[in-house]
Amino acid sequence: MALLTTRESFYLHIAIMGESERINLYLSKLKQFFDEVAIADDRYIHKSMPYPILKLPYGIRYRLSELTTPSERLNFQLSAGTASICPPKLQYCHEYQICLHGNVGDLEIAVAKEDSLMNPYDAEFFIPDSKTVAFCPNILRLKNIDEFHLTGEVFDHILLQPEELTVDNCRLSNTFWQKLSAITSNVRIIKIGSTNDGTLCIPSLLSAFSNLEEMWILTNVQSTWMADILKHQSTQLKRIFIYGHADILLSLFDIKELINFLRAQSFGFWLNIELDPSTSRWSREYDDWIQHQLGSELRRFTSVYTPRGSQYISLGYYGSCGRRLVKYSLA
């Protein structure tokens, strides 16, 4: 017997499976595809379809529509670019900025059509129904969220594909990041504020969100934060903004480690380190440290325009005359 092609092997495999097993196989295989969906000019462009779902028999696609949740059905439509992926009906949606807010044991979902979620008077609470899905393609905010808030039937009516994710005052366990990753896709920018756990575990974050381009960290990190990012990142980063205590961010600081870290990122990468004013009051020691550590291997520049074809680091701290900012690029 001649060797079967990948497509022929796939159809032979599903032919001998039960209906529920077939549907589960489709869903698991397509998850890989959904993670690759990208936004370009407000349209969803897919890179490649792992399996030709559109070419499956009408009856299977009809049954798929019956078994999928509203958010899964919308996900199929967006990725395939046609409503015929799940006949016979089109899944409608409304685009929102969404905020998930934990209120003790309850989950509150606020939605707004404009970027106005910081103002509670401009937002409204989302009430799921069987006809419409709340679709979040841009910004998703989480506040006071624990891992148990991230499961439930309400997510059958919400499709979360935010480019930017903001997390504030949440309990950031490894399970939290894994559950959050499971209900979101397309996240490129993440901003992390204060936490309920004290310290951010960067390996857990990067394990759950492997396609990040920007990280904004405004909470405590371990002194090995740079080595952790370098070890666990799977893509080149474009920017990192990190804010915290001088004794944590600058302890065990090694100029060779910094240079290796910068070189591992894409051209134009910025590492912005902002020191907490309460721990970085101006002293001659800081100036001497900066000159010795950074000035010996990197090139300092003062222009608002960055040198081309390099990676950069800026260090901000506060002196007796206000905030001081020094900028360096790879020599």
For every residue of 273-302, DSSP letters joined together read EEE-GGG-B--HHHHHHHHHHTTTTEEE--
Structure tokens that stand for 270 in this block? 């910025």
Identify whether 193 is part of a domain: yes
Identify whether 102 is part of a domain: no
Q: In what helix (H) or strand (E) does residue 263 lie, and over which residues does it extend?
A: helix 255-263
pTM exceeding the 0.85 threshold for the entire prediction: no
Q: What pLDDT does residue 301 have? A: 87
Residues 198 and 325 in one domain: yes
DSSP track, 216-253? EE-S-B-TTHHHHHHHH--S--SEEEEEE-HHHHSTT-
- Cβ 330 vs Cβ 311: under 8 Å: yes
Q: What pLDDT does residue 66 have? A: 80
Residues 260 and 179 in one domain: yes
* CATH code of 265's domain: 3.80.10
Taking residues 98-116, what's their average pLDDT?
83
Identify whether 126 is part of a domain: no
Residues 56 and 150 in one domain: no
Whether 36 has a pLDDT exceeding 60, the answer reads: no
Residue 28 burial by Cβ neighbours in a 10 Å radius (0-12, 13-18, 19+): exposed
Taking residues 294-306, what's their average pLDDT?
80
Residues 61 and 153 in one domain: no
Of the residues 45, 61, 85, which one is the last residue of a structural domain?
85
Identify whether 130 is part of a domain: no
Domain span at residue 319 reads 137-330
Query: Confidence class of residue 17 from pLDDT cuts 50, 70 and 90?
Result: low
Taking residues 199-206, what's their average pLDDT?
92
- CA–CA distance, 92 with 132 (Å, rounded to integer): 5
Percent of the chain residues topping a pLDDT of 70: 74
Query: Confidence class of residue 29 from pLDDT cuts 50, 70 and 90?
Result: low
Residues 323 and 234 in one domain: yes
Residues 74 and 145 in one domain: no
Whether 34 has a pLDDT exceeding 50, the answer reads: no
Whether 50 has a pLDDT exceeding 80, the answer reads: no
Query: Confidence class of residue 25 from pLDDT cuts 50, 70 and 90?
Result: low
Taking residues 164-193, what's their average pLDDT?
94
Q: How many domains does the chain have?
A: 2
Identify whether 240 is part of a domain: yes
Identify whether 106 is part of a domain: no
Q: What pLDDT does residue 33 have? A: 47
DSSP track, 155-191? GGGEEE--SEEEEESB---HHHHHHHHHHB----EEE
Residues 16 and 81 in one domain: yes
Q: What pLDDT does residue 283 have? A: 55
Taking residues 212-224, what's their average pLDDT?
90
Residues 40 and 156 in one domain: no
Residues 251 and 187 in one domain: yes
Identify whether 168 is part of a domain: yes
- Cβ 292 vs Cβ 250: under 8 Å: no
